[in-house]
Amino acid sequence: MGGFAMRATKAWGWWLAGLVSLGAAPAPAAEPADGGTPIRVGIIGLDTSHATAFTKLLNDAADAQHVAGGRVVAAYPPGSPDIASSVSRVPGYTEEVKRQGVEIVDAIPDLLGRVDAVLLETNDGRPHLEQVIPVIAAGKPVFVDKPIAGSLADAVAIHRLAARRKVPLFSASSLRFAAGTLAVRGGSIGPLTGADTHSPCSLEPTHPDLFWYGIHGVEALFTVLGPGCTSVTRTSAPDVEQVTGLWSDGRIGTFRGIRRGAAGYGGTAFGEKGIAPVGAFDGYRPLLVAIVDFFRTGTPPVTAEETLEIYAFMEAADESKRRGGAPVTIREVMEKAEAEATKRLAALGVE
């Protein structure tokens, strides 16, 4: 697998000093080559349409969007009984993946003995930490679908554990890999002065408000602006969220979460050489290409630093709401999450 190096940026040295970076800035992944033995992929969680969509794109060579290089061979299906949209999907999605030649197993250890890499697809972020622990212990590279966890503390714990065990891991929304968004990140309109994004933002009471669906628009925002946000302010109403982040270099990024009316994916980036649309959804294929490349190389396309800042941004937005819209610093929520992550890992016996 790819090497792991310690890195601490000036803006984040206060909490990254002990964290191993797990990747580099995202770029379009190399197209998987046909031929050879495909990577055996296992899925944990059959309560999201991502599980069936990813399986079809990997396993069905006749599909126009087929991604070569990996094949889903086994899945462990449990959903979350306290989320109706989760548990109700499991039977139907289980049958769908079985028709694609996937073996259904009864436990995560059974899955790990059959695969080379793992897609952690459980729709509920709360069990992700406990589900990923045996995957990391087995040394299997793992993609953790959004939300990476049900709390910022668990997100920190997941990355900390993977770094210490030197196991490749990353998480991302599919919106990160849209061609137009990556072009802007790559400099198509010059250095950015700011960006605004929007996406649907349905809520799930068991998760912080933006973790459940707002993550898509927030990740698009960070894809183009990168890390470096220092404080967050949120204005909340029943049908909409408006979250504003201030970056350390003076740039401002905003996310609009929509729960009424037209609610597509999109946004605008403002650069020194132009203004361009960002935040589109280009389907799942670009993400799957990046995942297969990651499984092959062991090099994550998104850093731990950037992923954790995305979740810190969303957690700070929740805290800003609790404080009546007052600004909340990223540093404050990260320091709290770091301490909670230490307790969580100790309680689970893996610290």
Whether 159 and 210 map to the same domain: the answer is no
Residue 71 lies inside a defined structural domain of this protein: yes
| Average pLDDT score over residue span 221-231 | 98
- What is the structure's pLDDT at 245? 98
| Average pLDDT score over residue span 220-242 | 98
- What is the structure's pLDDT at 35? 61
Measured in whole angstroms, the distance separating CA 151 from the mean position of its chain's CA atoms is 13
Q: Which residue has the tokens 């803006």?
A: 11
- What is the structure's pLDDT at 31? 66
- What is the structure's pLDDT at 13? 37
Whether 195 and 326 map to the same domain: the answer is yes
DSSP-based three-state secondary structure for 99? coil
- What is the structure's pLDDT at 87? 86
Whether 144 and 192 map to the same domain: the answer is no
Whether 275 and 294 map to the same domain: the answer is no
Residue 9 lies inside a defined structural domain of this protein: no
Whether cis (ω within 30° of 0) applies to the bond prior to 147 is: yes
Total residues belonging to the chain: 351
Whether 228 and 260 map to the same domain: the answer is yes
pLDDT in tens, 187-196: 999 999 999 9
Residue 14 lies inside a defined structural domain of this protein: no
Residue 51 lies inside a defined structural domain of this protein: yes
Whether 146 and 216 map to the same domain: the answer is no
Task: Say which DSSP state 186 is in.
Answer: T
pLDDT in tens, 58-93: 999 999 999 999 999 999 999 899 998 888 999 999
Other beta carbons within 10 Å of 83? 19
> Residue 340 pLDDT more than 80?
yes
Mean per-residue pLDDT of the chain: 92
> Residue 99 pLDDT more than 80?
yes
Whether 70 and 169 map to the same domain: the answer is yes
Whether 74 and 127 map to the same domain: the answer is yes
Whether 320 and 278 map to the same domain: the answer is yes
Into how many domains does the chain fold? 2
Whether 225 and 98 map to the same domain: the answer is no
Facing residues of 143 across strands?
119, 170
Residue 35 lies inside a defined structural domain of this protein: yes
Give one DSSP letter per residue of 293-341, joined into a string: HHHHH---SS-HHHHHHHHHHHHHHHHHHHTTS--EEHHHHHHHHHHHH
Q: Are 251 and 168 in contact (CB under 8 A)?
A: no
Task: Starting at the earlier edge strand, list the strands of the sheet with 266-271.
Answer: 275-277, 266-271, 192-200, 252-258, 240-247, 229-237, 328-329
Q: For the domain that residue 246 is a member of, what is the CATH number? A: 3.30.360.10
Q: For the domain that residue 107 is a member of, what is the CATH number? A: 3.40.50.720
pLDDT in tens, 15-69: 333 333 333 344 556 666 666 799 999 999 999 999 999 999 999 999 999 999 9
Task: Say which DSSP state 260 is in.
Answer: S
> Residue 348 pLDDT more than 50?
yes
Whether 206 and 326 map to the same domain: the answer is yes
Beta-sheet strands, E only, within 50-108: 70-76, 103-104
Whether 191 and 228 map to the same domain: the answer is yes
* 191: Cα within 13 Å, side-chain hemisphere: 4
DSSP-based three-state secondary structure for 40? strand
Q: Which domain holds residue 95?
A: 28-174+284-303
Q: Which residue has the tokens 């969220």?
A: 241
- What is the structure's pLDDT at 7? 30
> Residue 257 pLDDT more than 60?
yes
